[in-house]
Amino acid sequence: MTPRIDALRAVLREDPESHEIRRMLAEALVGEGEDSAAVDEYLVLRQAGVLGDEEARAAVDLALQLERLDDARTLLGVSPESSPPETRPTNPQADNSVGLSSPERTGPVDVQGTDFIDSIFGTITFADVGGLRDVKKAVDRLVIQPLRNPDLFAKYGKHAGGGVLLYGPPGCGKTMMARAIAGEAQLPIYNLRIEDIVDPYFGVSEQRLAGAFDAARELSPCVLFIDELDAMGYARSQQNSERGRALVEILLQQLDSVGNDNTGILVLAASNEPWDIDGALLRPGRFDRTLFVPPPDQEARIAILESALADVPQQDLRLKPVADSTELCSGADLRGLIDRSLEEVLDEALTSGGEPPLRQAHLVTAVQETRPTTVTWLARARNHVDFGNVGGRWDEIKRYLKQRHVAKILRAQDQS
């Protein structure tokens, strides 16, 4: 074992509820090839209810590689004694109104071989998403209110459901916002990932995609979340592969509900590269409703920092100055900042043999080493705004880039 792993375990012996330290220990164990021990730590995090979606998937992969099948099911949130359903499941609480609770089931949904549609763990609402007031207001108007007041909106030719695209820099909470939308609407949300759809054999990818929409129809009312839409719906004019173009065409058919009924299905999608998406997918009736999810504002940055530090031994921390010094940092950037500050604390613990708390000086040092990764994305987005903003498609980004603090940081980036 490395000194770092020994130090992390020593901290956990004194404070077993320090979930952030346990998370760091699990990651360190994976880095040292101690996969079985890492799975043990991830199981503790799952039992505490603090295991994130991406961590859960990584932990499940480790457990499956080790043939720890019961543990893999536990990490998925499925009882080890249960068995996958043999028939197409339905939502027992389904009707055509909002206000439904998510089904008790989590984990894979088996619909005629479509066992890759995963229920996203946990239910959150806008109250769990710090800041981003403008985004929440837009979501409420475009998505939530049509679900809550279908009769009123129907009188004006508006209907609930359809497609909504969330786009913005990586690591800024698009997936979390999708979960919050489902939570606000009190609908179950099912995650559809590109790696679960694409298959090297001819025709299989198209069948899987159609099967995913069939599953959503059986489970409606629900939210179907498509992550990385730019990968699944890459512009056909830029593709060299007939298979890629065929997948886009199947997605268009499913969104148009050709031969089927999409009533009760809200299709949410997320993309880091919205300009790469086939233009047909952004036309009315498909993903014509788009929402820009920007880097966290000050209120959101404070909330992210508070969440990351909730279980960390600390002394006299002031998070507002840290938030003020991390403009344009993504949520991932902020979590990286916390990791660096904790590593400094661990170095002190190894040197002194004590258990020093996290102090403001540690955060200040980490801030000085942190650069916002969203700047590169915003600079690239600026080019699309300047030269490809046909029909005002990227006006939301344009308005954001004009904000004084954003323009100032981008100018400094240009001059460096």
Q: According to the model, what pLDDT value does residue 152 have?
A: 85
- Match 């009188």 to its residue by tokens: 155
Q: 306-341, pLDDT tens digit by residue?
A: 988 988 889 999 999 999 999 999 999 999 999 999
128: left (phi over 0), alpha (psi -120 to 50) or beta: alpha
* Displacement of CA 349 from its chain's centroid (Å): 34
Same fold, 107-292 and 298-368: no
CA dist., res. 259 & res. 246, Å (int): 18
Name the pairing type of β-strands 117-119 and 107-109.
Answer: antiparallel
CATH of 107-292, one of 3.40.50.170, 3.40.50.1820, 3.30.420.40, 3.40.50.300: 3.40.50.300
Could you tell me the CA-to-CA distances from 358 to 28, 308, 331, 339, 348 in Å, in that order?
A: 20, 12, 20, 11, 10
Q: According to the model, what pLDDT value does residue 95 have?
A: 39
The predicted model scores a pTM of: 0.71
Where do the structural domains in the chain lie, given as residue ranges? 3-76, 107-292, 298-368, 374-415
CATH of 3-76, one of 2.60.40, 3.30.200, 1.25.40, 3.40.50: 1.25.40
Name the pairing type of β-strands 289-292 and 117-119.
Answer: unpaired
Residues of the chain with pLDDT under 50: 79-118, 121-122
CA dist., res. 34 & res. 9, Å (int): 14
Enumerate the β-bridge partners of residue 292: 167
* Displacement of CA 276 from its chain's centroid (Å): 20
Q: E-strand spans in 193-304?
A: 222-226, 265-271, 289-292
Q: According to the model, what pLDDT value does residue 96 have?
A: 34
Could you tell me the CA-to-CA distances from 11 to 307, 346, 347, 356 in Å, in that order?
A: 20, 9, 12, 10
3-state percent breakdown (helix, strand, coil) of the chain, nearest 5: 55, 10, 35
CATH architecture, domain defined by 298-368: Orthogonal Bundle (1.10)
Q: According to the model, what pLDDT value does residue 80 have?
A: 44
